[in-house]
Amino acid sequence: MTDPQPVPPAQPADPGRGPSVVNRRSVVVGAGAAAWTVPLIVAASRASASAVSGGAPAVVVSEVTGVRRTAFGGIVDCAITFTNEGPVDATALSVVVDFVVAVPGTSVAYGVDDVSAPWTSSPYTVTAGNFSVTFVRAGGLAASQSDTLRFTINSAMGVGNIVVAAPTTTPTGANTGATGVWGDEAAVDVDITSISSPLDNGNIFITFKNNGVVVAPNQTVEVTITPTTGTISYSNAGDDNPEFYTVSPSSVAETSSPMTLRFSSPLPIERDVSKSFSFFIGQSGTGTISATVTEPTSANNNTEVGSYL
């Protein structure tokens, strides 16, 4: 008789861009480092189809905007893009959108108009001065299909946040939400202020700051690392980041091609406040690091470029 076998077992406020900033869209910077571990809580952010197992849709929300018309100042044109990155059709799709007043004095006439087909909207509800609307897309959303929901709201002045919940689908999917801003386009400005890799050990440290006039309800920073020589890989972060930060994808095998990581926080960042996060890459050469805040979306958000040794 054979014996049984054992069973295997906060970061201080950033001083600003400073005089070294040559161009808002692309600046080489450097200094500081840290490390962190991947948290367990998943924030609403962009997700890839590879992260979704077969048999479920993965409807991703992106490009959430709401810009006040110049000629007709009381009308705000809003747009939200939905993409089913999963391998399965969503036979039904609905989403709850909250319109949050972010700056005192903002004027809002509740309700939505001019909803683009095949979408329909529910009557709005109001809670604590903010209003909420449910949108339904007739026919759902097929795998690999994208659609942009367009509609208007009425607001004579001021700004607010558009908070798009993770969509509800049939069958239930790995769906993710996003945020944006409605009102004056210049209201949002969340900028990368520092990228550094001071030691030859793969530690990379990134700081960004809310230079806009509204609270950023959550944030996603897209970081692209491009080898100039050798290879790079990513398998984990360290243990020094703000709570609830997450990263997608969770790992990248050794490659000589560029890799993109998306770091997300579900916690708001107030005006004139900075946040920092750090991570570790495996490396066998040198290369560049590019970072942009992609949520909340705004043409005012900058892109900065640094390097690793």
What is the count of structural domains for the chain?
2
Three-state SS at 146: strand
Q: 279 and 202, same structural domain?
A: yes
CB-CB neighbours of 25 under 10 Å: 11
Q: Torsions phi, psi of 12, nearest 5?
A: -60, 155
Q: Exposed, middle or buried, 77 (CB in 10 Å: 0-12/13-18/19+)? A: middle
43 part of a folded domain: no
Which of 154, 176, 198 is the last residue in one of the domains?
Answer: 176
Q: Could you report the per-residue pLDDT of 247-295, keeping only the tens digit for each? A: 999 899 999 999 999 999 988 898 899 999 999 999 999 999 999 999 8
Does 172 share its domain with 193?
no
Residue 66 shares a structural domain with residue 164:
yes
Give the position of tokens 């490390």. 35
pLDDT of residue 83: 97
274-280/203-210 β-pairing: antiparallel
Lowest-confidence pick of 157-171, 231-245, 287-301 = 231-245
69 and 163 belong to one structural domain = yes
| Residues 253 and 284 placed together within one structural domain of the fold | yes
pLDDT at 201 over 90: no
The pTM of this model reads 0.53
Q: Looking at the structure, do residues 55 and 122 belong to the same domain, yes or no?
A: yes
Range of the domain at 234: 187-308
Which of 64-73, 160-169, 194-203 is predicted with the least confidence, judged by mean pLDDT? 64-73
Last residue of one domain, picked from the residues 176, 204, 239:
176
The percentage of the chain sitting over the pLDDT mark of 90, rounded to a whole number, equals: 51
Residue 122 covered by a domain? yes
Summary mean pLDDT of the chain: 80
Contacts of 233 (CB under 8 A, 6+ apart): 251, 252, 253, 254, 255, 281, 282, 283
Q: What integer pLDDT is reported at residue 185 of this predicted model?
A: 62
pLDDT tens per residue across span 35-59: 232 332 233 333 333 334 458 999 9
Q: Is residue 32 part of a domain?
A: no
Domain end, chosen from 176, 200, 225, is at 176
Place of tokens 């006439």: 109
Q: What is the pLDDT of residue 105?
A: 67
Judging by beta carbons within 10 Å of its beta carbon (0-12, 13-18, 19+), is residue 63 exposed, middle or buried?
Answer: middle
- CATH number for position 127: 2.60.40
What CA–CA distances, in Å, run from 163 to 72, 179, 198? 24, 5, 37
294 & 201 share domain: yes
Provide the token pair at 42. 């998943």
First and final CA of the chain: distance in angstroms?
59
- 126 lies in the same domain as 150: yes
